[in-house]
Amino acid sequence: MWRAFPEVLLIDTAYKTNMYDWQLVQFVGVTSTSKSFYIGHTFIIREKEKNFTWELEKLKELLEDRMEPRVILTDTMQRHLEEMDRHKVWYYIHNNWLEPYKHKFVACCIDDRRNYDEHTTNRVEGQHANLKRYLHGTNNMHDTVARHVLKVVNSQMVQIGGTFEESRSKVMEEYRRHYWLKKLINRVSIMALQLIVKEYHLIESMRDDRASCSHHLFTSTGLPCACRLEGYIVENRCIRLQDLDPF
């Protein structure tokens, strides 16, 4: 699955998952239909650079000669803030987040890069929560994690297969009535069509408010933003498949 959709890689670490107090690092990918899927997981004893280097090297081997990720999203090294007093918590946030990364908290900086609207590790944290519920009270950590991951993977494959089949065969009336979508229907994901039509509805409100296009949809996802859509409509042209980001 990752060889088909290598564009996005989400990485996050779960703590207090097992009686050995090992840290579980999970790797999650995203399909073009906005569904999450497991790529892999590792147990590490400590958050050391050599440990992360090893697991990333092993992860890269899974892609063989395929394209490498275009968006990699992770947290910086975590700490148990609940064990610290308020002064230390503020000191940690200021020195480890606000000072070095404050410019990255501004939306315009985030939206100026292709990120497919993935800004957080929430997808991985959701997997953490499911896994912790499944692992509660178990001693056989490795075997239990393997069984859980297999169960989740099978469930995810069914969901992902459904979204792909829907994108290949289902034609909603809302998309059919827009002639400029004609060349995209059943050739791109319904998720992409939804985003484009949502952007189309912004054109009228932008005219009323005399607002300018932010280009957010184009820069972040590679889909035509409002000003580009207006060009297709005015010139009576259809959006071509090659006009969109391959993802």
Confidence of residue 86 (pLDDT cuts 50, 70, 90): low
93-102, 181-190, 193-202, 238-247: the lowest-pLDDT one: 93-102
Structure tokens that stand for 67 in this block? 């394209």
Q: Is the pLDDT of residue 156 over 60?
A: yes
What integer pLDDT is reported at residue 228 of this predicted model? 94
For residues 199 and 181, what is the distance between their CA atoms, to the nearest angstrom? Answer: 13
Sign of the alpha-carbon torsion through 53, 54, 56, 57: positive
Query: Mapping DSSP to helix (H, G, I), strand (E, B) and coil, where does residue 101 land?
Result: helix
**With pLDDT > 90 as the criterion, what percentage of the chain qualifies?**
28
224 pLDDT above the threshold of 60: yes
Q: At a CB cut-off of 8 Å and minimum separation 6, what does 103 contact?
A: 109
Does residue 92 or residue 241 have the better pLDDT?
Answer: 241
Instruction: Please state the separation of Cα 71 from the chain's center in Å.
Output: 8
Q: What is the DSSP letter of 79?
A: -
Q: What is the pLDDT of residues 96-114, one digit of tens each?
A: 777 777 666 656 566 677 8
CB 158 within 8 A of CB 211: no
Is pTM beyond 0.85 here?
no
pLDDT band of 75, cuts 50, 70, 90: confident
**Hey, CA dihedral for 228, 231, 233, 235, is it positive or negative?**
negative
Taking 80 as the threshold, does the pLDDT of residue 199 lie above it?
Answer: yes
- Which 8-state DSSP code applies to residue 31? -
Beta bridge partners of 61: none
Please check the confidence at residue 35 and state whether its pLDDT lies above 60.
yes
Look at 121-125, 142-146, 215-219, 221-225 and tell me which has the smallest mean pLDDT.
142-146
